Chains A and B, each alone.
Chain A
Amino acid sequence: MLLFIVIAPLLTALLILIGAPARLTALLGSAATLIASFAAFFVYDTARGGFQFVSSFPISATWRLQFLLGADGLTLIMLLLAALVLLCAVWFTPPVEKSERLFYACLLFIAGGAIGAFASLDLFFFYAFHELALIPTFLLIGIWGSGNRSAAAWKITIYLGLGSFVLLLGLIMLYRSVPPELRSFDLRALQLVAASGGILPAAQNQIFFLLLIGFGVLISLFPFHSWAPEAYASAPAPAAMLHAGVLKKFGLYGLLRVALPLLPEGAQHWRTLLIVLLLGNIIYVGLVTIAQKRLDWMLGYSSVMHMGYIFLGIASANVIGLNGAAVLMFAHGISIALLFALAGEIRRRAGTLVFADLGGLGKLMPFAGFAFGVAAFASIGLPGFANFAAEVMVFFGAFRVGADWQGFHLFQVATVLALWGVVISAVYMLRAYRAIFMGAPNERLHSPFPDLSRTLRLPIVLLIAATMIVGFLPNTVLRLLQPTFSAPVAANR
């Protein structure tokens, strides 16, 4: 089943490239992926826990390299997210004027690469799948982007290229830090080695730093974030949905899957640095977000800002915070995809996303206004949506670390500032909503200004339903995460 989920999008992309009808095939392929992910979600046996659906195809015995797939609760939630956003991104693709086939194939390759990385239990393929997903991202921005697309594509190439390079260095060092007879790309084997103290603390410190920076660049960790807003502003809406919603989660997934469990000492060592950087994401980038004057840039920055909360959950490294981080990855993916989808539709109609040129769209596009309101409130953590449940866990998890009666220490201060970020995000989101949807319709908007068509409403309802189900009943996903995060990371116990 897992093999099917990994292969389906890639196969669909190939079919489209050789000549199958692009849009229909893409829709069918992504729907099949979603259904399979959903099935896997229910088939997974939580009582047994651990990695299931394992399948392995040996490639080289001497290097101990194999194509190894497997999934636990965390994986399954990410697969579900990827498949869901993929389907909606394909659905939201407007008529493409040049090389339609390549466009759809790129979307499928991004999702396929992300899914492959999430499902790989082998470090080599984990890395390779992500690289596979990056290339189509650049193409989508470079060929079909808007605004200053070549600069944006160039910047994201340098940034993510550098990030991947640092990450690669870290992974190589990780591979070589293990005694030669135990070396393996197999994550499960490495976890056993790490659990028995096979990776020395000094090596852990070095490697964790490289992984933190490498993954960090991919996640837009402050101060390596400035590629993100520009890239998302230039990218066509479906590409922004997939990258911000899904592919960016690769870095976070890597921290949760590789860095934290294998290098607990290293995580402990760099904790203060991580806190400082993530507060940069929340407070500094939050303020930058307030100052934005166009929706696409604002959404890009807000997505960077929200990474700070996920980092906070990871930094706390306890059961509450890690569960919160995982759920927040899912929640953020849904809400940002929704926001970028709607922003794309507004841009298609108004030709601009500058706040001053918009206004009163709530009257012209009631459904879009409703959907954007839902997405905005979801993203600022309103109860009822997954984001809130996740943020609650992140805050409670982080606040607990090192707490005592004496006063506030590192994590308590960080939690307070992160809570302040919740106020900041309300400010910029409501300001944007006020500027775009409320007030009288802007005179510069030429009529007619049609609301979202009925067919476009379905994916929106799908995304809203997903975040509301998790928001109302967080236990549906926590049940799956339980086996993965049932104990705090070693060094924090």
Chain B
Amino acid sequence: MTSILPWIALLLPLVSASVIIGATRPLRTLSAFISVGAVLGSFVCATLIFFQQTSAASSFSWISLGSHFSVPLGLTLDPLSRSMLFMVTGVGALIHIYSLGYMGTDEGKSRYFAGLSLFMFSMLGIVLANNFVMMFIFWELVGVSSYLLIGHWFERPSAADAAKKAFITNRLGDFGFMLGILMVWNATGSLVFGDIAAGMARFTGHPVYLTAAALFVFCGAVGKSAQFPLHVWLPDAMEGPTPVSALIHAATMVAAGVYMLVRVGFLIDASLGALQGIAWIGTITAVLAALMATQQSDIKRILAYSTLSQLGYMVMAVGLASGQAAMFHLYTHAAFKALLFLGSGSIIFMLHHEQNIWRMGGLAKRLPITFLTFAVGTLALIGFPGFSGFFSKDAILALAYERSLPIFVFAAFTALLTAYYMTRLVVVAFFGSPRSEAAVHGAEAPPVMTIPLVILAIPAALGGFGFFATRFLVLPNEKEHLLVVPTIAFGCLLVGVLSAALFYRNRSSDPIDIELFRNRFYIDEFYTGLIKATQGALASLSSFVDRWILDGAVVRGLSGSVWGSGFLLRLLQVGNLQAYGFIFGLGIIGLIYFTVFH
């Protein structure tokens, strides 16, 4: 049965964004409520779709060139997209509501909510797209809305630079993505996921081509899901308002890369080489980002590196050929990481934009609801038994244990680091004595901000249990003999928590100083140098050639020698209508002369 509901869910946020930009921009509160209304509408549609198990929607033609080329605009509705739709609109709705408080007095509130609506539209498009070009369209639109929201406070140079960096880094990944799409299209003659899946037999006998195509498609995910080596934009993206960090740079957009890989699993799983490459990229990201997180002092940046690291887990799971495990972790992560970011947002908001954990301290007493929910999020993130993250991380660890021991070792080490840096964060920010004026006077956030925290805490705590999770996805089957895996994981967790608690109890500055980690392995500096040495140098060289050789020597030489500059220059005194007319009249006369007399 076809249904119009998915289209309504997709288009409501677009309508909201257009109305705000076109009409209600001066009325800031109205704009905010339009945006919230739209996302709630989408959420209702998504809920209906989810429970009615709608499986078809009408489709349109976007580009049609007869039999040569056609791009449809159609929607995929399967269990994967239905539950993702539900999650994205659900988390999105909560964060929209939270933003009513967080951005309450912001001058650019209308712009902010228009950006959020545009983001919801683009994200839902990625979730629902049934073909590669359509997915690419929304893929790019998500990039723009992210650019707009990171750069929301565009007067700040750091925010403006971060927005630019995010967009360009993503474009780099999209370069590979588009190339992968072209290769797949060339091989199968189709862009629609269903048709490609059915035509995979065409790749038989061309394993190299297949691996290359799959890895190029993966490039898109490397950019959007901020995997090594394109991870550099995500920490900087924290310059955006905190609800944006929660929604876009933790729960949904950065997960889009993982979602896309699962969506095209038929392509990825067909190539062993691609799987291996993907698994290792995920592993490297997970470990590196966790190491970087251990030495940050900005609360949002710690969470950002943690997001990188967790995305690494998801990509690892994709590379280990288990889309289910990846999606499981994606869902639980969406809940607890959105919770953590919103919690950090309520701290930042109540402490007048203080983000340095060393200038906090003792917040557990001052912001009790924030503290309790933040604690739930932390326990879920470090994988404490019983909390959602425990189950989903365990699924990935078990998978690694089964398929690749080296990856398992790295994954377990990352789990240890996760427990370590989160304990560090909680101990320093929430316990001990207040270390700044703002921290002394901190108070609990208003209900419009704390209620979303409480709601998010529920799935963050319970989301891993089978009775809850199986409604949303097919759980990867766990084998009995893998009890060893949770045991090792719990051991890692204990080591991490205890060592951090030991190091950081009652400290007022960081006792450990590892410059390499704090400076993100100097990867950003390396890139800056690399860009300067290659693109910058090439650009200057080309510019020099163009200015002084191509233009300078050739053009001036030509005008000087061939034409006899004296005569023509005098003739062509600027503004002399007759001279121009004469020269170009000559052309016409020439034409007549040649055609008539020859």
Contact = CB atoms under 8 A, between A and B. Distances in A.
Nearest to B189: A400
Interface in B304-325: none
Interface stretch (B95-103, B172-180, B228-236, B347-355): B172-180
B66 interface: yes
Contacts of B526: none
Contact of A175 (B157, B172, B540, B595): B595
B66 A486 contact: yes
A149 interface: yes
A165 B559 CA distance: 15
Contacts of B581: 135
A57 interface: no
**Which of B144, B171, B174, B584 is most buried by chain A, counting CB atoms within 10 A of its CB?**
B584
A131 B591 CA distance: 12
A272 B285 CA distance: 42
Contact of A474 (B63, B588, B598): B63
Contacts of A176: 598
B160 A438 contact: yes
A171 interface: yes
Contact of B595 (A63, A158, A227, A290): A63
A227 B556 CA distance: 11
A249 to B, nearest CB: 19
Contacts of B280: none
A431 B535 CA distance: 14
**Which of B141, B163, B587, B598 is most buried by chain A, counting CB atoms within 10 A of its CB?**
B587
A439 B160 contact: yes
Interface string B564-583: 00000100101101001101
A383 B572 contact: no
Given A135-B580, A157-B580, A319-B69, A287 B538 contact: yes
Contact of A139 (B141, B156, B580, B590): B580
B168 A427 contact: yes
Given A172-B595, A319-B65, A440-B157, A154 B167 contact: no
Nearest to A403: B186
Contacts of B555: 155, 158-159, 226-227
Interface of B is mostly: helix
A215 to B, nearest CB: 15
Interface string B518-555: 00000000000000000100111111001000110001
A401 B83 CA distance: 41
B65 A320 contact: yes
A439 B551 CA distance: 34
Nearest to A64: B595
B161 interface: yes
A139 B535 CA distance: 38
Contact of A399 (B71, B136, B154, B182): B182
B559 A154 contact: yes
A482 interface: yes
A226 B551 contact: yes
Given A124-B591, A382-B140, A405-B206, A482 B66 contact: yes
A438 B151 contact: yes
B64 interface: yes
A422 interface: yes
Interface stretch (A79-87, A194-202, A412-420): A412-420
A434 B572 CA distance: 41
Interface string A100-143: 00000000000000000000000010011001001100110011
A360 B156 CA distance: 10
B596 interface: yes
B563 interface: yes
B133 interface: yes
Contacts of B174: 422
B185 interface: yes
Given A158-B558, A172-B595, A288 B144 contact: no
Contacts of A284: 542, 546
B594 to A, nearest CB: 5
A164 B598 CA distance: 20
A150 B157 CA distance: 39
B203 to A, nearest CB: 9
Contacts of A165: 587, 590
B543 A288 contact: yes
Contacts of A158: 555, 558-559, 563
Contact of A320 (B68, B155, B157): B68
Contacts of A427: 168, 535
A226 B598 CA distance: 35
A384 B543 contact: no
Contact of B575 (A63, A139, A420): A139
**CB-CB nearest 9 A-B residue pairs:** A291-B543, A142-B574, A438-B160, A226-B551, A383-B137, A291-B539, A290-B539, A287-B542, A438-B154
19 contacts: A131-B584, A131-B588, A150-B574, A157-B572, A164-B587, A168-B587, A284-B542, A288-B546, A392-B133, A395-B178, A416-B179, A422-B178, A423-B168, A423-B172, A426-B168, A437-B154, A473-B62, A475-B61, A478-B63
Interface of B: 21, 61-66, 68-69, 71, 133, 136-138, 140-141, 144, 151, 154-157, 160-161, 163-164, 167-168, 171-172, 174-175, 178-179, 182, 185-187, 206, 209, 535, 538-543, 546, 550-551, 555, 558-559, 563, 569, 572, 574-575, 577, 580-581, 583-584, 587-588, 590-591, 594-596, 598
Given A226-B551, A383-B137, A403-B186, 10 more contacts: A127-B587, A127-B588, A135-B584, A164-B584, A230-B551, A287-B539, A422-B171, A423-B168, A427-B168, A475-B64
